[in-house]
Every structure is written in C-alpha cells, then in structure tokens.
Amino acid sequence: MLLSEYDKATTEALNRELVRQQEGLEMIPSENFVSEAVLTALGSIATNKYAEGYPSKRYYGGCHEIDVLEQLAIDRAKELFGAEHANVQPLSGAPANLAAYVALVEPGETILGMDLSHGGHLTHGHPVTHIAKVWNFVRYKTTPEGLIDYDDIEAKAREHKPKLILVGYSAYSREIDYERIKSIADEVGALTMADIAHIAGLIAAGEMNNPVPIFDVVTTTTHKTLRGPRGGMILCKKKHRKAINKAVFPGLQGGPHENVIAAKAVAFKEAAEPEFKEYARQIKANAKALESVFNERGYKLMFGGTDNHLLLIDVTPKGVTGAQAEAALDKAGITVNKNSIPDEPRSPMDPSGIRLGTPAITTRGMKEEEMKQIGAWIDEAIQAWEDDEKLEAIRQEVKGLTARFPLYPELKY
C-alpha cells in the first residue's frame, strides 16, 4: 500500500517538510540536498538485509549482492580520497570518531583536540560527553586573531605527550596545515587523526588540503559537503585496517545499514564527476561572496573570514544574541544555527554567534549574485529581529527566489 494511503499523519508531515525545504534558504553549513539517485538507493530494499561482518566475511547468508554494494562504496571512497583503507559502516560522524578512538587509544590515554568554542566538536572530548570520561582530552585553542594556534598545539603536545593529535572542526572556517600537525605528532610519537566531516566534499573535489595521504586516520560524515546520505566513514592507513574494522564491528556496532551504504556508493560516484568539482568551487565562491557582504555591513567574522563553506559571525555587536538572530532568520525563511564563538562569554543555548554556510543553496544552483541578495536579507532580518511584519516580507521574497531554483520538483509523498 502506498504511504499516502496508509499513513496520513506521516505523509502530511513529510510533505510539509518538503515544502519547508523547497521554499526556504537552507544555510546550516552541515546540511545539503541529496540527488534523486542517492534518495532512491537510500529508500531501497537493501534496508531489509542483515550483513554483520564485512564483504565476503559475513555472519549471515544471502549477502552476495550486499557485498557488491558495500565493496562499491569502499572502492569508490578509497579512490576519491586516495585512501589505503575505507570502512563505510559507521552510522554517522560521532560513532566514526568513537570507533577511531577505540581503535587507536587505550582508555585513560591522552588525546589532544580543539576546544569546542574555538570550532571543535562535542566528540572531540567536550566534558559533557561520555568519551571524556574514557579518555583524557587536552584542548588547544585558536590564536586571538582566530587562526589555529600551531605553536600552542606543539607546546601542549610536548607537555602532555598525547597518544593522538586530532584536527578537523565543525565551526572553523580556515584551511588546515596537516603537514605541520604531522611533524608535531612525529616529534612526540603521537598518531594523527582528522575529522573532515564538514569539508569532505571540498577535499574530494581538490578544493581543500587532503589529510588522507598524510594522517593515520581520517573520519567523516557523508551527508555534509560530500552530499551523500546521512552516515559516517573512516579512512586510514593499511596498518590500522584491522583495528579500525574491529572497533566498528563487532566493537561498537551491529548490522550495517546497507541501504545507506548503497547510497554512499552512489554519492561517491557523483563526487568523482567533473560537475562535483565545479560544485565545490562554487560553494567556496559563494561563501566568499557572503563574506564580502557581511564585511561591508559591519559584521564581526570569526577567524577573519572563510576559506571553506562556512562563516561564524558574532552578532552581539548588532544588538542581538545568536538565539534571537536564529529565530528571526527562521521567520524570514532562512535557516541558520546559533553557535558559540571562541571563548564564548554566553551560554550554549543562547550564544553570541550564528553559523551559516553555502553547501545546500549551492546545490540549488545559486551563485554570487544570489549571495549578495541573501546576505542583505540576513542583515535586514537581524536588524528587524522583533518586527514580524518585516520578517514575513523577507520570507515572501525568499520564497520568490527559491521558486527560481527548483528542488525535487517531481517529489510528493
């Protein structure tokens, strides 16, 4: 029976969400719109199959075609990033990071990672996480000018002798010098790990430095700039293959989600196409265009601007908090997220900043010209954060713009 005939409540919610995605400007930098080919694989019958184990070494019968699908994803991932080994089973970024720690670091040993408010991630050892109870996390920060403080990393590495040095961030907008990190790690005998979740698509397209040939282990999600299904992946040197595979299964996970893995295979094929290279170039060009608008309009950009797909902006000098700006932009049909800024003086639920990015609106085909208009609307909505009439007027203009860049035009649940 068709979904729409069987479950009205679910169908209606899906259709309302579809309209929200179609009519709004999706500017959360970790979100994107997958292709219809990826959606098809994701919604496929591969979801029906248990396949604990790895291709040709399964604990279940009937895995022949599932092996084909998973091997396609593995081979394509290796090719895309120049990796010696790929594990495509992690359910998302957090489980991928956890598996990497389990594989490489004994409980109680030290991991050196970036402070959350300076652009790091919860799973990089924030005290609220369970992993912070298992491993000893030491945190480095950015310089007062906002760039990664390599001298601080070096000093902390010499002092704490970490087993693992971790880079790769979820709110940091600048390039990373992986060679420098590797030489610090070599000096103190540490392993190296990069979490490239945000920038994997830019790296795959050759638009940002690639840590995969240099580092021991690289983790990522597959659904951000890489534009695949919601999921995770670990790339590593051959010497870590066994430890990584064992940590993912049976260490932490059970049956892999093979429909998601099939969709990863499709997304990796797409990311190897010349069109994807152009897409990644445009993501960066669009972020730069927004950077200019916000500079012209007197905003305080963290890290001095952007080299990638995202911008972190302190909105408090404009007389609003991050939460107020996020809520106002929501009313204007522009989705961003409130975000802490380096050494955040406010609370995480109502921080000083907003984080926004260009991957999803670039997928819709928008370019620098549209960025100028969007940057202006963001500024106007922030200035008018208490004026619902003005915010509604912007929302109508946003609707007009998004109608010119159709999203899933044939889709209806």
Distances in whole angstroms, Cα of residue 201 to Cα of each of 221, 223, 270, 309, 410: 10, 9, 11, 10, 26
Q: How far is the CB of 121 from ligand DSN (least distance, A)?
A: 6
Is 261 in contact with 89 (CB distance < 8 Å)?
yes
Rounded-to-integer distance, Cα 29 and Cα 36, Å: 21
Question: Is 52 known to be catalytic?
Answer: yes
The residue at minimum Cβ distance from ligand DSN is 30
- Which residue's CB is nearer to ligand DSN, number 53 or number 119? 119
* Catalytic-labelled residue, pool 76, 141, 224, 264: 224
* Catalytic-labelled residue, pool 7, 31, 52, 387: 52
Q: How far is the CB of 253 from ligand DSN (least distance, A)?
A: 18
Q: How far is the CB of 30 from ligand DSN (least distance, A)?
A: 3
Q: Which of residues 267-326 bind ligand DSN (CB under 6 A)?
A: none
Q: Which of residues 36-65 bind ligand DSN (CB under 6 A)?
A: none
Q: Which of residues 77-96 bind ligand DSN (CB under 6 A)?
A: 93
Name the residue with tokens 């292709």: 35
Question: Binding residue for ligand DSN (CB under 6 A) from 30, 87, 352, 402?
Answer: 30
- Which residue's CB is nearer to ligand DSN, number 102 or number 171? 171
Task: Determine the 3-state secondary structure of 167 from DSSP.
Answer: strand
Q: Report DSSP state, residue 170.
A: S
Task: Report how many residues bind ligand DSN under the rule CB under 6 A.
Answer: 4
Using CB under 6 A as the binding rule, whether residue 170 contacts ligand DSN is answered as yes
Residue-by-residue DSSP string for 292-349: HHHHHTT-EEGGGS-SSSEEEEE-GGGT--HHHHHHHHHHTTEE-EEE--TT--SBTT
Q: Report DSSP state, residue 122.
A: G
Q: How far is the CB of 170 from ligand DSN (least distance, A)?
A: 4
Q: Report DSSP state, residue 139.
A: E
HEC string of 245-308 equals HHHHHHHHCCCCCHHHHHHHHHHHHHHCCHHHHHHHHHHHHHHHHHHHHHHHCCCEEHHHCCCC
Question: Is 169 known to be catalytic?
Answer: no
Question: Is 221 known to be catalytic?
Answer: yes
Question: Is 224 known to be catalytic?
Answer: yes
Rounded-to-integer distance, Cα 398 and Cα 378, Å: 11
Nearest-CA neighbor of 363 among 228, 272, 255? 228
* Catalytic-labelled residue, pool 123, 192, 221, 363: 221
* Catalytic-labelled residue, pool 11, 50, 161, 399: 50
Q: How far is the CB of 254 from ligand DSN (least distance, A)?
A: 22
- Which residue's CB is nearer to ligand DSN, number 72 or number 336? 336
- Which residue's CB is nearer to ligand DSN, number 171 or number 332? 171
Question: Is 321 known to be catalytic?
Answer: no
Q: How far is the CB of 403 from ligand DSN (least distance, A)?
A: 27
Distances in whole angstroms, Cα of residue 358 to Cα of each of 51, 255, 286, 364: 36, 34, 6, 10
Task: Determine the 3-state secondary structure of 236 from DSSP.
Answer: strand
Q: Which of residues 111-150 bind ligand DSN (CB under 6 A)?
A: 121
Nearest-CA neighbor of 281 among 319, 225, 352? 225
- Which residue's CB is nearer to ligand DSN, number 129 or number 143? 129
Q: How far is the CB of 123 from ligand DSN (least distance, A)?
A: 8
Question: Is 149 known to be catalytic?
Answer: no
* Catalytic-labelled residue, pool 78, 180, 230, 346: 230
Is 334 in contact with 385 (CB distance < 8 Å)?
no
- Which residue's CB is nearer to ligand DSN, number 170 or number 192? 170
Is 289 in contact with 372 (CB distance < 8 Å)?
yes
**Terminal-residue alpha carbon distance, the chain:** 13
- Which residue's CB is nearer to ligand DSN, number 118 or number 121? 121
Positions touching ligand DSN (CB under 6 A) are 30, 93, 121, 170
**Residues designated as active site:** 50, 52, 195, 221, 224, 230
